[in-house]
Amino acid sequence: MVEINNVTFAYKKGKILFEDLNISLKPGHIYGLLGRNGAGKSTLIKNITGLVFPEKGICTINGRDSSQRSPDLLQDFFLIPEEIYLPTIKIEKFMRSTGGFYPKFKESEFIHCLKEFDLDMDDNISSLSFGQQKKVMIAFALATNTDVLIIDEPTNGLDIPSKAQFRKIVSGALTENRCMIISTHQVRDLDNLIDALIILSERRIILNSSVDDIAQKLLFSTLSSLENQEVLYSENTIKGYSVIIPNTSGRSSKVDLELLFNGLIDNKNQIMHELNPTRYE
């Protein structure tokens, strides 16, 4: 559905942001795209959607070259950027003027999502806070029913209850025909939402794995002491140590996305050896 083939990108000559990226994203999944500030998450999204062009390689959506931005491609995906700009009109008028660009748009789904976010079709967009405007865009994006939905920093501007609403609504909108990509530096906001993880670092994708596969190979736990433990990564907490260790016992644990991200940045080779021993021997 989304293919990134040998993509290299640089804003300035000699200043390569990422190079030779290869990844295939399939329908029926919610991908979490993580990386440090400046790692290139937003720029990768722009490459995928044809807003900037790679120096080398190609990005495609449903087999169409993203850089061409053809009408049949544009109606197949929806992008919510980190910064949003909406017209000063009522939500209903926005829907009437914009929904027609998306053949699978469903008004009933839009209204349902608005209600979940405590918004109404008669609300004037200009009178809404930034967080409420973001809710309008999320509701609209879900109602387009595009094959690909990409959201950059979706929880910026949302309060704690709204973040929980966001996770509930987005997870409920996933279908076997839809691929979602969510980029964020607020890692914990993706807890219980994503089922696959992509981490961009050091000009390349250092991890592309399902959360289930990670849980099978790594154990996330809290220990009172690190003595006589095969610890891949640890952080001090008030309860002792939050740790990542090899899952040799077959136990099940919840993947701590923030701990995993920090661990990969600090101790990539050892963790990646557990996740992919063939490649990291």
How far, in Å, are 23, 25, 60, 210, 262 from residue 1 at the CA level?
11, 6, 8, 17, 30
Q: Name the pLDDT band for 278 (thresholds 50, 70, 90).
A: low
Looking at residue 228, its pLDDT comes to 83
Looking at residue 99, its pLDDT comes to 96
92 alpha-carbon distance from chain centroid: 28
Looking at residue 231, its pLDDT comes to 92
pLDDT digits (tens, 9 = 90+) for 33-82: 999 888 899 999 999 999 999 999 999 999 999 999 999 999 999 999 98
**Residue 281 in this model has a pLDDT that exceeds 50:** no
**How far is residue 132's CA from residue 111's CA, in Å, rounded to a whole number?**
15
Looking at residue 267, its pLDDT comes to 78
Torsions phi, psi for 255 (to 5 deg): -70, 120
Looking at residue 14, its pLDDT comes to 72
Average pLDDT over residues 111-128: 94
- Which is higher by pLDDT, 94 or 38? 94
Average pLDDT taken over every residue of the chain:
92
Q: Name the pLDDT band for 107 (thresholds 50, 70, 90).
A: very high
- Which is higher by pLDDT, 187 or 136? 136
Looking at residue 280, its pLDDT comes to 46
Q: How far apart are the first and last CA of the chain?
A: 31
- Which is higher by pLDDT, 280 or 14? 14
pTM: 0.92
**Residue 139 in this model has a pLDDT that exceeds 80:** yes
Number of C-beta neighbours around residue 210 at 10 A: 15
**Residue 10 in this model has a pLDDT that exceeds 70:** yes
pLDDT digits (tens, 9 = 90+) for 211-246: 999 999 999 999 998 888 889 999 999 989 999 999
DSSP code, position 257: H
**Residue 279 in this model has a pLDDT that exceeds 70:** no
Task: Report the DSSP beta bridge partners of residue 33.
Answer: 183, 198
- Bridge pairing between strands 77-80 and 204-210: unpaired
- Which is higher by pLDDT, 139 or 265? 139
Torsions phi, psi for 229 (to 5 deg): -120, 140
